Structure 1
Amino acid sequence: MKKTVIAVVGPTAVGKTRLSLEIAKTFNGEVISGDSMQVFKGMDIGTAKITSHEMKGIPHYMIDIKNPDEPFSVADFQNHVQHHIDAISSRSKLPIIAGGSGLYIQGALYNYNFSEQPRDAEVTDRLERQLNRDGAGSLYNRLKITDPQQAAKIHPNNHRRVIRALEIFETTGKTMTEYQNEQVAESLYNPILIGLEMDRELLYKRINLRVDEMINAGLIEEAEYFYRQGLADYQSMKGIGYKEFIPYFKNEQTLDKSVELLKRNSRRYAKRQYTWFKNKMHVNWYEMTPETIEETFRKILRDLAGMLEEI
């Protein structure tokens, strides 16, 4: 029989962490982080990483497993998560994935084959030289022409994914979209996806407030520490919450401008998260407001109890 997996998804700052804890306590579960940035050690404030105290004794996985100077791919995430799902299930516990990294969660649940096409170092180096010479816009414009569907999913500043999509096209003659469409859509598991959504303006206010709280908690100092370690060009510093401060550390941008960009990028990321989960996966959505959180969580737990009984 297929293993049952709960996934709590949705945009940043909507309440996924709290709900995952409620589900774990109610259904004897353990939590796997579905955030692609929380794997990096020490990058705590900018990734809104759950603390040991907040875990309330619930085991959590996929947190602090990589050094910030190490790469971490979707395929790596997939392998780790599938291992934890098997291990948690073997202890008669319920695996719960909580996070907003849509491609990563989809890849783990549906076993997409990300590693079949090896990297071509020569092509990658050439594309990176072009990036440095002509700027990100030139590569992104090429991707919009060769694979417009993939370009719509990738932020223009996500250089790593833009280069990977172009590299696959150049080495195989097949676009990343074609490559992904060939994947088998059936999941390895019985996935139950619970999505949290919120009025857009209300969510944006919560995101802005969260950024202010992160700043007060020491986010700038955290980002500067890793910048001073020489990690500015590493994957870990490309994440929202860190990359916005690099121009400030270089004296190329004011602190106020960096904070403004962080809020803007976080809001835009939340919008992209909505779009991904709404278009790519079958999710049971629940509308959230600050006044109805407790009531909504009780409804979700009741609905989950019924869904689990039917499996």
Structure 2
Amino acid sequence: MNYPIKLISVVGPTASGKTALAVELAKKYNGEIISADSMQIYKGMNIATAKPDEQEKQGIPHWLTDFLPSDKTYSVADFVSDAASCIEDIVSRGKMPIIAGGTGLYVDSLLNGISFEKQERNEEISNELLALYEQNGVDYLLDMLAEFDSESAENLKEQRNVKRIIRAIEFYKTSGITISEHNRNSKLKGSPYNPIKIGLKFEDRQKLYDRINLRVDIMLEKGLVDEAKQVLSNDLSSTSKMAIGYKELIPYFSGERSLDECTEILKRETRRYAKRQLTWFNRDKDINWILVDKFNGFEDILKYAETIIDKGL
């Protein structure tokens, strides 16, 4: 196999249109899609995670979706290993790998060649940290992280991503080195990939937020409440329980809030998540950004993306 491997990545915030664009690019460039979404990996978590159905896939193979029980943990190290295997398989069959998803840590770790020694997750430590978060809030964990890894604490301060903060603390407690030091050492080895990076975002942020609000309404019409009941009745791992779309409905199930109130909370939390995604991806100067609201429809967006890719191939 020739290195570095040429591939395409499609990133951006939730509800920006990544799936549709990735599918059309796969049809154009004889590609197969590798999902980089930390929640679409779980079985039974379909509506809340906007997992593409067979109609949306249009016959394009999608890898790393819908394969893991919700009581199992899944780490960025697992993703990098699994995605690398998928890439090699796709390339060996003469096809183009297309990485598509909004989990920035997954995408960056894969494309930057971050290597991970096979390190088992410590579920006990992870659950202890999750309990501390539920009792004391995210700032408490950030302060804890800053005591030994100020760099990671600073990087995660604006995102306030509880899952990644917990992982950074757990990594140090189990390995004895900080995750920022580990990542620096890994990057020195270089990446086996030569990606063409496409990003979707909006010049007018409110238009993205309107799409998010509409998507939540559609999720409710599709049966999100029933799915949430089912998912919440299962044993959930420390990673799967962080999914947006289920925990926000708990006050409705307990009778503490109305469905309308919980829906507004869900929309707000999804908008906040999108903002965190944009903060993450905006740091990558190699992403070719497409401003969705500056184009006259999907076909024009697709043509522009193809122009970017053709230049990079």
Q: CA RMSD in A?
A: 2.5
SS state of the match for residue 92, structure 1? coil
Does residue 211 in structure 1 map to residue 211 in structure 2? no
Equivalence map 1:233-252=2 (5 Å): 234-252=238-256
1:24 pairs with one of 23, 26, 48? 26
**8 A Cα contact 2:130 2:238, kept in partner:** no
Deviation of 1:10 after TM superposition, in Å, equals 0.7
Deviation of 1:229 after TM superposition, in Å, equals 2.6
More displaced 10-residue stretch of structure 1: 128-137 or 280-289: 128-137
Partners of 1:65 and 1:291 in 2: CA distance? 37
Q: 1:7 — aligned with what?
A: 9
Q: 2:182 — aligned with what?
A: 179
**8 A Cα contact 2:18 2:200, kept in partner:** yes
2:269 pairs with one of 262, 265, 269? 265
More displaced 10-residue stretch of structure 1: 278-287 or 132-141: 132-141
Structure 1: gaps of 5 or more residues: none
More displaced 10-residue stretch of structure 1: 115-124 or 240-249: 115-124
Equivalence map 1:137-152=2 (5 Å): 137-151=139-153, 152=155
Q: 2:114 — aligned with what?
A: 112
Q: How far does the alpha carbon of each residue in 1:211-247 deviate from its partner, in whole angstroms, 9 at most, with x for none?
A: 111111111110111112343x642232111221233
**8 A Cα contact 2:11 2:101, kept in partner:** yes
Deviation of 1:83 after TM superposition, in Å, equals 0.6
Deviation of 1:12 after TM superposition, in Å, equals 0.7
Equivalence map 1:295-306=2 (5 Å): 295-306=300-311
More displaced 10-residue stretch of structure 1: 271-280 or 169-178: 169-178
Percent identical across equivalent pairs? Answer: 43
Partners of 1:114 and 1:250 in 2: CA distance? 41
Q: How far does the alpha carbon of each residue in 1:25-75 deviate from its partner, in whole angstroms, 9 at most, with x for none?
A: 111111111111111111110011111122111111111110111111111
More displaced 10-residue stretch of structure 1: 63-72 or 243-252: 243-252
Q: 1:33 — aligned with what?
A: 35
Per the normalisation by structure 2, the TM-score is 0.87
Equivalence map 1:42-121=2 (5 Å): 42-115=44-117
SS state of the match for residue 31, structure 1? strand
> Quick one: structure 1 residues 294 and 173, their matched pair in 2 at CA, closer, same or farther if it must change by over 3 Å?
same
More displaced 10-residue stretch of structure 1: 163-172 or 76-85: 163-172
**8 A Cα contact 1:68 1:234, kept in partner:** no
> Quick one: structure 1 residues 30 and 132, their matched pair in 2 at CA, closer, same or farther if it must change by over 3 Å?
closer
> Quick one: structure 1 residues 299 and 121, their matched pair in 2 at CA, closer, same or farther if it must change by over 3 Å?
closer
Deviation of 1:176 after TM superposition, in Å, equals 2.5
Does residue 220 in structure 1 map to residue 222 in structure 2? no
Per the normalisation by structure 1, the TM-score is 0.88
SS state of the match for residue 285, structure 1? strand
**8 A Cα contact 1:9 1:99, kept in partner:** yes
> Quick one: structure 1 residues 67 and 141, their matched pair in 2 at CA, closer, same or farther if it must change by over 3 Å?
same
> Quick one: structure 1 residues 135 and 208, their matched pair in 2 at CA, closer, same or farther if it must change by over 3 Å?
closer
1:190 pairs with one of 187, 191, 194? 194
